[in-house]
Amino acid sequence: MRSEAPHRVVVTGMGAISSIGIGTADFSTGLRSGRSAVRPITAFDTDGFAHAMGCEVTGFAPEDHIRNVPLHTLGRAGQFSVSAARMAVEDAGLEAADLRARRGLTAIGTTDGEARDMDRLVETELAKGPEAMDPVVAERVTAGRLSSAVARELGLRSVEAVTLPTACAAGNYAIGYGYDAISSGDVDYALCGGADALCRKTFTGFYRIGTIAPEKCRPFDKDRQGILTGEGAGVLVLENLESARARGARIHAEVLGFALNCDAHHPVAPDEDSVADCMRLALENAGVGPGDVDFISAHGTGTRANDVTEAAAVRRVFGADTARARFP
């Protein structure tokens, strides 16, 4: 039986910085039109790689969104997270002053944190020696700044700032963390999401194990060749249903539940049993059945092992006829 949460959790604000659009309106248009932002990577020197395509954010002006935190104290991922959070708060019809009087949470998930700045530090040391290290860059490489900078930008006082470095699912972890905090009554609102910037470290790691696609990512395609790395941020404003209704907020969606697990079966190979179990747990937590679901947002890495495993797990949970499940 599903245990009813003390508070229902709703989404009242959204912010997005992406390679296919800056702001939720442009991002949504990019999704619906099938816009592609794949292009040769310029974020770092790609000499020596047979192919180096990625999805970089262009046309981003952090000064348009960040007003209170000095830009030079933020790495690129931090600029993304703060900007997306500012967008989400404005979309929710909230002022920073509205949040300061309430208990809050900022939770940002990430794969790399500010590894792009770490790349720069390493390059500086290799070229000029440790004595030439840039102290400003060294100070801002801490991943925790992705969430703490959001609190600083908005002048939040009674707030917990959490950064979750859990790779591919990090943004979802952050939303789940916010859901738990609000449903239990620990906080009144949460700014949750994920942020990353393109960096040499992650690209090189995936490239060395043969999972970077030469031209494009083609999930569930028989000719798939792997992933592409990208960058950006997405942040949601979560609050309990009572407060959203009391202030007449526009409600984008309700978060019914979530699940997570860790099978520790293999360092990189996905496990079908574990993937299926996680989906079942999520359905149970949300109080819905497989027949209530009409959209599945798949991991869809376009790698040989993941796509076969994920498709099999989906069929196991939703049945052999998965026509109702639309994969992006």
Convert the pLDDT of each residue in 69-87 to its tens digit.
Answer: 999 889 999 999 999 999 9
Q: CB under 8 Å, gap of 24 or more: what pairs does 47-51 form?
A: 49/207, 50/214, 51/212, 51/214, 51/215
pLDDT score of 328: 46
pLDDT score of 119: 74
Phi-psi group of 91: left, alpha or beta (phi > 0 → left; psi -120 to 50 → alpha; rest → beta) = alpha
pLDDT score of 136: 57
Convert the pLDDT of each residue in 28-43 to its tens digit.
Answer: 999 999 999 999 999 9
pLDDT score of 283: 97
**How crowded is the C-beta side of 204, counted as CA atoms within 13 Å?**
12
pLDDT(301) > 80? yes
In the chain, what are the domains? 9-255 (3.40.47.10), 257-328 (3.40.47.10)
Where are any strands of DSSP class E within 84-214? Answer: 104-109, 159-164, 189-196
Percent of the chain with pLDDT over 90: 79
* Backbone dihedral angles phi then psi of residue 154, each to the nearest 5 degrees: -95, 0
Task: Please state the pTM of the whole predicted model.
Answer: 0.91
Which 3 state secondary structure label does DSSP give 100? helix
- Average pLDDT on 109-127 reads 77
